[in-house]
Amino acid sequence: MTFTATVFIGTSLDGYIARPDDDIEWLTSRGEKAGDLGFFEFLDSVDAVIMGRNTYDKVIGFGEENWHYGDRHVGVLSTTLPEDADPRITVYRDLDTLVADLDQRGIKHVYPDGGRLVQSFIRAARVDRFIISVAPVLIGAGHRLFGELPDDVALRLDAVADLGGGFAQLRYTVEK
């Protein structure tokens, strides 16, 4: 058994997911005008959330009231986070172990979250869909959503939506 993975993420128009200092206020402050961008409906469709260490640290910094993952499986891919750091998560040391465990658990739909983690999933050909909400701002520098790739990744545009507040949402399927 194998899972499908959908990336749900916000970017600036120039393709950044965070400033160089990891700040995302440019996104969250503008996102208030557009609502949740469909995030909670999307989250209801997944059985596992996998994030990188930096994203985990950012989520924890939002406070307990912003832990929106409920009972679904939450994993963190990290070589430095202690395995017993948080009883709500499973810490994975490498992508192969993570994928094998998700398959063993019978996970069907995964939400990979975090720049480097998403890039790892893309390079491993583990992303099936992208839902990208584009904020109406150019920030000029920071962490890009997409990194270097060994090969092209062909995409099929499924939908484009005006979410209000100047946000556009792009939905793509990875052509395999």
Q: What digits encode the pLDDT tens for the residues 156-167?
A: 999 999 998 899
The band of 113, judged by pLDDT with boundaries at 50, 70 and 90, is very high
Tens digits of residue pLDDT in 12-70: 999 999 999 988 889 888 866 667 788 899 999 999 999 999 999 988 888 777 788 98
Check pLDDT > 70 for residue 171: yes
Residue 174: name the closest of 4, 1, 2 by CA: 4
Residue 52 is inside which H or E element, if any? strand 48-52
Q: What is the mean pLDDT of residues 109-126?
A: 95
The band of 82, judged by pLDDT with boundaries at 50, 70 and 90, is very high
Contact between 40 and 165 under an 8 Å Cβ cutoff? The reply is: no
Residue 149: name the closest of 174, 132, 173, 170 by CA: 174
Kindly give the pairing relationship between strand 4-12 and strand 16-18.
unpaired
Residue 142: name the closest of 29, 7, 13 by CA: 13
Tens digits of residue pLDDT in 18-33: 999 988 889 888 866 6
pLDDT value of residue 106: 96
Cα torsion 169, 174, 175, 176 to 10°: value is -170
Cα–Cα dist 55/5, whole Å: 17
